[in-house]
Amino acid sequence: MLYKITYYIFKLFPRLKKWFWKKWYTIFANKVSDPDLRFMNYGYYSDDLNIELSAEDEKDRYSIHLYHYVASQINLTGLKVLEVGSGRGGGCSYVTRYLKPSEMHGIDISPSAVDICNKIYNIENLNFMQGDSENLPFEDNSFDAVINVESSHCYASMDKFMREVSRVLKPKAYFLFCDLRRDIYVQEMLDSIDSNGFNLISKTDISTNIIDATIRMSEDRREAINKLKSGWFRNVLESFAGVKGSKVHQSFEDGFLQYISAYCQNVK
């Protein structure tokens, strides 16, 4: 019940939602400085997806699968790409090393997360900086593609974000997206993507793929949370991680939360 009340309050006060998530991710980055923790998404599993990964990346397979599924909807080779909401940088690193854009830029609202990324990664054509999704720190017509993975549910305004993405994208460039929403707000999210300067090309409900991935990652994530000695906060962290049996996992199972992947083209 508390979980659903929180969703309702955030809907009424979107600026509070934005403030909360900035604080949460900043505190999380400060408390969990492990350089091996490079992804925080719920992952993606499909029998049809089995990409070849290095030994170093294998431990993050299902989180990488989500990035691959979203980012490979177009060919990024040689393109200038931006990820909004880059978190701990694992997605940017994967896209840079495996999908071969000419430049990869990651921005995140949390200064602590950006600091971690700048310490962890040393890849020539990859850089990170602090930035706000509703006021992107780039010139007009700067990018060939923008990626946004499991981040937009933290924003105060999806419409403002989409207009900013349209502004920094070149004409006819692409926005590649996935995220979760309450079932009753999914259409509102899709309407934002299919407007504000964009034409929605494709959308897919991947909730089942997300559920399957969280089940496969649950044991490892529980073990990692136990190492933090988080006490009473353990249940919150398990839900945040989407482990099997948590409130978030159950919300996917019962349809309260739905997870959508989409991509669209800038029509300006």
- pLDDT tens figures, 165-194: 999 999 999 999 999 999 999 999 999 999
Q: What is the pLDDT of residue 8?
A: 57
Q: What is the pLDDT of residue 31?
A: 64
What residue spans define the domains of the chain? 2-26+45-205+258-266
Output the CA–CA distances (angstroms, integers) from residue 186 to 129, 193, 204, 241, 261, in the order listed: 30, 11, 12, 21, 11
**What's the average model confidence in pLDDT over 142-151?**
98
Q: How many CB atoms lie within 10 A of CB 166?
A: 21
Residue 14 has pLDDT above 80, yes or no: no
Task: Show Cβ contacts of residue 193 under 8 Å, excluding neighbours closer than 6 positions.
Answer: 162, 175, 177, 200, 203, 262, 264
**Which residues on adjacent β-strands are paired with residue 258?**
181
Q: What is the pLDDT of residue 205?
A: 98
Using 50, 70 and 90 to split pLDDT, how confident is the model at 236? confident
Q: What is the pLDDT of residue 180?
A: 96
Question: How far is 115 from 108, CA to CA, in rounded Å?
Answer: 10
DSSP 39: -
**What's the average model confidence in pLDDT over 133-143?**
97
Torsion 196-197-200-204 (CA) sign: negative
Instruction: Give the closest residue to 209 by CA, choosing from 146, 171, 261.
Output: 261
Q: What is the pLDDT of residue 58?
A: 96
Q: Please list, residue by residue across 120-130, b when 16 or more beta carbons sit within 10 angstroms of its beta carbon and e when fewer do.
A: bbeeeebbbee
Residue 22 has pLDDT above 80, yes or no: no
Output the average pLDDT for the chain. 90
Task: Show Cβ contacts of residue 136 under 8 Å, excluding neighbours closer than 6 positions.
Answer: 82, 84, 107, 164, 165, 167, 168
β-pairing, 257-266 with 198-205? antiparallel
Task: Show Cβ contacts of residue 256 under 8 Å, excluding neighbours closer than 6 positions.
Answer: 4, 182, 183
Residue 5 has pLDDT above 60, yes or no: no
Q: What is the pLDDT of residue 148?
A: 98
* Residue 90 in tokens: 């694992």
**What's the average model confidence in pLDDT over 137-152?**
97
pLDDT tens-digit profile of 70-127? 999 999 999 999 999 999 999 999 999 999 999 999 999 999 889 999 999 999 999 9
Tell me whether residue 164 is exposed, middle or buried, using C-beta atoms within 10 angstroms of its C-beta: 0 to 12, 13 to 18, 19 or more: buried
Q: What is the pLDDT of residue 242?
A: 87
Q: Which amino acid is at 245?
A: G
Fold type of domain 2-26+45-205+258-266: Rossmann fold (3.40.50)
Q: What is the pLDDT of residue 24?
A: 66
Using 50, 70 and 90 to split pLDDT, how confident is the model at 214? very high
Q: Are 168 and 82 in contact (CB under 8 A)?
A: yes
Query: 33 vs 127, which has greater pLDDT?
Result: 127
DSSP 100: -
Residue 149 has pLDDT above 70, yes or no: yes
Q: What is the pTM of this model?
A: 0.90
